[in-house]
């Protein structure tokens, strides 16, 4: 497969996995903390979201999205043990941190960061999450990108896929 097509397919897969695991994380957190689900949108080509009302523990509901959005893909990559799995996991690691950081800068009240702050999350907890995921995710995702575009022999390509 051509590297650019491989890259494009990996990006589409990564986006779908990231949005799904992040939003399912919110759903799991809301359910486990006793919330009542009022609305959910999981389609990755829309802006996935969920709303619980009442939500007795909104910090659990809100933090579960980015936390599970990072941990689930990493766990799956460790189980799958394929380069493409780590590409997806590294994308999710970086994307969840970048999402919270960008949402912080926009101040949009519908995005997770403003909702975390409204629910009582400290700025340092969000900053630590963003710095950790971006700091770890960027070099790991960059390495994954280099591996996608690295020239390989036919035998190595077959063995790694």
The whole-number pLDDT of residue 155 equals: 54
Between CA 13 and CA 62 the distance in angstroms is 24
Query: Cis omega before residue 54 (within 30°)?
Result: yes
Calculate what percentage of the chain has a pLDDT beyond 70. Answer: 94
Q: Flag whether pLDDT at 157 surpasses 80.
A: no
SS (H, E, C) 28-79: HHHHHCCCCEEEEECCCCCCCEEEECCCCCHHHHHHHHHHHHHHHHHHHHHH
Identify whether the C-beta of residue 12 lies closer than 8 Å to the C-beta of residue 48. no
Q: Is it the case that residue 118 has pLDDT exceeding 70?
A: yes
Q: How confident is the model at residue 122 (pLDDT cuts 50, 70, 90)?
A: very high
Return all residues near 57 (Cβ < 8 A) that are at least 6 apart.
33, 34, 35
4 has a pLDDT exceeding 80: yes
Quote the pLDDT of residue 87: 98
pLDDT of residue 31 exceeding 60: yes
This prediction's pTM: 0.91
Q: 11-47: string of b/e by CB count within 10 Å (b at 16+)?
A: eeebbebbbbbbbbbbbbbbeebebeeeeeeeebeee
CA 76 to chain centre: 13
Tell which wins on pLDDT, 32 or 48. Answer: 32
pLDDT digits (tens, 9 = 90+) for 70-117: 999 999 999 999 999 999 999 999 999 999 999 999 999 999 999 999
Residue 161 pLDDT more than 90? Answer: no
How many whole angstroms separate alpha carbon 25 and alpha carbon 124? 22
What does the mean pLDDT of the chain come to?
93
Over 90: is that where the pLDDT of 15 sits? yes
Query: Would you say 94 and 86 are in contact if contact means Cβ atoms under 8 Å apart?
Result: no
């Amino acid at each position: 497969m051509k590297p650019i097509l491989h890259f494009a397919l990996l990006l589409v897969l990564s986006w779908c996995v990231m949005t799904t695991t992040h939003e399912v994380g919110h759903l799991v957190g809301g359910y486990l903390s006793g919330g009542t689900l009022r609305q959910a949108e999981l389609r990755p080509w829309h802006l996935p979201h969920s709303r619980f009302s009442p939500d007795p523990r909104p910090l659990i509901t809100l933090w579960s999205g980015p936390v599970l959005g990072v941990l689930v893909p990493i766990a799956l990559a460790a189980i799958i043990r394929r380069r493409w799995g780590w590409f997806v996991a590294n994308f999710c690691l970086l994307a969840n941190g970048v999402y919270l950081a960008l949402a912080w800068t926009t101040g949009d009240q519908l995005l997770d960061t403003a909702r975390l702050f409204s629910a009582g999350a400290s700025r340092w907890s969000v900053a630590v999450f963003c710095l950790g995921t971006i700091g770890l995710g960027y070099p790991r995702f960059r390495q994954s990108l280099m591996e996608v575009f690295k020239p390989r022999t036919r035998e190595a390509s077959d063995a790694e896929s």
